[in-house]
């Protein structure tokens, strides 16, 4: 629907253009305004003024929603197509009336053009946003598909050492796809770190293991000590494809852990698009901070691969 200022300009133009009520009625009929709206107006009532009739007609059209908007558009366009106002010159002070008429029509034209330009701009912006969302979704789907292919290649790799390095590369790409500003493996004095990334103002160190069996407490304790030697806003993410033993998890439960644990099931639900990695990590961090348990299984979130 047109904004109030356009409707007001339309009322002013109609009041100036049609000096007699009969002419105004014929105009509305020519614009195919519904007959029931026209006939109920006080055309022959000397106490009913044009401005009130115009207001009543437009109010009724506005109340019709999109259907009424079509009639209003037709009315506006018919007015804007009028270029000859000489019929007003025969009236008293006709030149002044012609001038006022032309001015009111130009004001309406300017407002309608401004409104239409705004609508067009908004539509273009919506279309751009829609395209951007569609492109972002495609890029995201492409990224997930690449990660899936990369992971399947990992599964087929028999060289254990090579697979370990490729697993680190896979996690780097996973973090990169989720805008976590990852860093590859690096070595500092006395220890090696498999990678690092940033998430919600927290620095994460990475430990990645693709072992045949679930991991016990020893590797968890070793990685935890690496993390504890860093700044306070540092946590660790330990990703073990085949998970962790119950004894290993028990050793860390109830303490004040500095590491978060993920297993192959977590990666599976992310690669299948069942959960966003950032959301999964956020929920794991919140769970650990509330319970002291560093491992929240995906199935405990109601997510099944």
CA 71/CA 61 separation, integer angstroms: 7
Q: What percent of the chain has pLDDT over 90?
A: 23
- Report the SS3 class of residue 236: strand
* Token code pair at residue 94: 């006709």
> Predicted confidence band at 304 (pLDDT cuts at 50, 70, 90)?
low
**Which letter, b or e, does each residue of 215-225 get, where b requires 16 or more Cβ atoms within 10 Å of its Cβ?**
bebebbeebbe
Compute the average pLDDT of residues 147-165: 86
Give pLDDT, residue 190: 59
Note every long-range contact of 150-155, with CB atoms under 8 Å and residues 24 or more positions apart, other chains counting.
151/267, 151/271, 154/210
- Report the SS3 class of residue 188: strand
List the domain boundaries for the chain.
4-122, 157-299
- Does residue 46 have a pLDDT over 60? yes
Compute the average pLDDT of residues 257-280: 91
Task: State which of 89-93, 134-138, 185-189, 196-200 shows the largest mean pLDDT.
Answer: 196-200
Give pLDDT, residue 283: 92
Give pLDDT, residue 160: 84
* Token code pair at residue 126: 């919506």
- Counted residue by residue, the chain has a size of 305
With beta carbons less than 8 A apart as the criterion, state whether 214 and 243 touch.
Answer: yes
Q: How far is CA 190 from the centre of its chain?
A: 46
With beta carbons less than 8 A apart as the criterion, state whether 206 and 171 touch.
Answer: yes
- Does residue 26 have a pLDDT over 80? yes
CA 120/CA 118 separation, integer angstroms: 5
Nearest CA to 179 out of 155, 199, 161 is that of 199
CA 86/CA 105 separation, integer angstroms: 14
Compute the average pLDDT of residues 63-88: 86
For tokens 């935890």, name the residue.
224
Question: Using one digit for the tens of pLDDT, what is the confidence trace for 212-252?
Answer: 899 999 999 999 998 988 888 899 999 999 999 998 888 87
Which of these CATH numbers, 2.60.40.1760, 3.40.1350.10, 3.40.50.12780, 3.40.50.720, describes 157-299?
3.40.1350.10
Give pLDDT, residue 135: 82
Higher pLDDT, 15 or 220: 220
CA 140/CA 153 separation, integer angstroms: 20
Compute the average pLDDT of residues 70-94: 82
Compute the average pLDDT of residues 179-191: 75
Nearest CA to 31 out of 3, 2, 66, 70 is that of 70
Angle between helices 94-156 and 264-271 (to 10 degrees): 140
Higher pLDDT, 36 or 298: 36
Query: Of 13-27, 84-98, 118-132, 268-282, which gets the smallest average pLDDT?
Result: 84-98
Give pLDDT, residue 171: 92
- Does residue 187 have a pLDDT over 70? no
Angle between helices 66-80 and 21-30 (to 10 degrees): 120
- Report the SS3 class of residue 208: strand
What is the chain's percent helix, strand, coil content, to nearest 5? Answer: 60, 10, 25
Query: Of 5-9, 13-17, 95-99, 184-188, which gets the smallest average pLDDT?
Result: 184-188
Q: What's the CA angle centered on 299, arms 297 and 303, to 5 degrees?
A: 120
- Does residue 275 have a pLDDT over 80? yes
CA 86/CA 303 separation, integer angstroms: 77
Task: State whether the Cα torsion 78-79-81-83 is positive or negative.
Answer: positive
Q: Max alpha carbon distance in the chain (Å)? A: 104
Q: What percent of the chain has pLDDT over 70?
A: 96
Element (H, E) at 260: strand 259-263
């Amino acid at each position: 629907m047109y904004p109030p200022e356009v409707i007001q300009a339309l009322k002013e133009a109609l009041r100036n253009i049609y000096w007699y009520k009969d002419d105004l009625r014929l105009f509305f009929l020519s614009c195919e305004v519904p007959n029931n709206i026209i006939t109920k107006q006080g055309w022959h009532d000397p106490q009913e003024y044009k401005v009130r009739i115009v207001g009543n007609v437009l109010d009724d059209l506005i109340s019709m929603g999109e259907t009424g908007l079509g009639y209003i558009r037709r009315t506006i366009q018919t007015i804007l197509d009028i270029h000859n106002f000489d019929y007003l010159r025969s009236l008293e002070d006709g030149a002044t009336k012609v001038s006022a008429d032309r001015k009111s029509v130009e004001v309406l034209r300017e407002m309608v053009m401004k409104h239409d330009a705004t609508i067009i701009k908004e539509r273009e912006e919506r279309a751009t946003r829609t395209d951007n969302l569609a492109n972002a979704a495609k890029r995201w789907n492409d990224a997930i598909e690449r990660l899936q292919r990369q992971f399947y290649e990992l599964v087929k790799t028999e060289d254990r050492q090579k697979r370990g390095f490729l697993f680190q590369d896979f996690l780097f790409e996973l973090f990169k796809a989720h805008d976590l500003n990852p860093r590859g493996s690096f070595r500092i004095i006395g220890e090696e770190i498999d990678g690092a990334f940033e998430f919600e103002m927290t620095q994460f160190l990475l430990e990645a293991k693709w072992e045949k069996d679930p991991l016990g407490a020893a590797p968890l304790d070793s990685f935890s000590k690496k993390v504890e030697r860093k700044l306070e806003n540092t946590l660790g993410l330990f990703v073990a494809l085949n998970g962790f033993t119950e004894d290993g998890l028990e050793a860390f439960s109830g303490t004040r852990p500095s590491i978060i644990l993920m297993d192959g099931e977590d990666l599976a639900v992310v690669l299948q698009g069942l959960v966003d990695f950032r959301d999964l990590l956020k929920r794991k961090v919140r769970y650990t901070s509330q319970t002291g348990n560093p491992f929240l299984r995906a199935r405990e979130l109601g997510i099944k691969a």
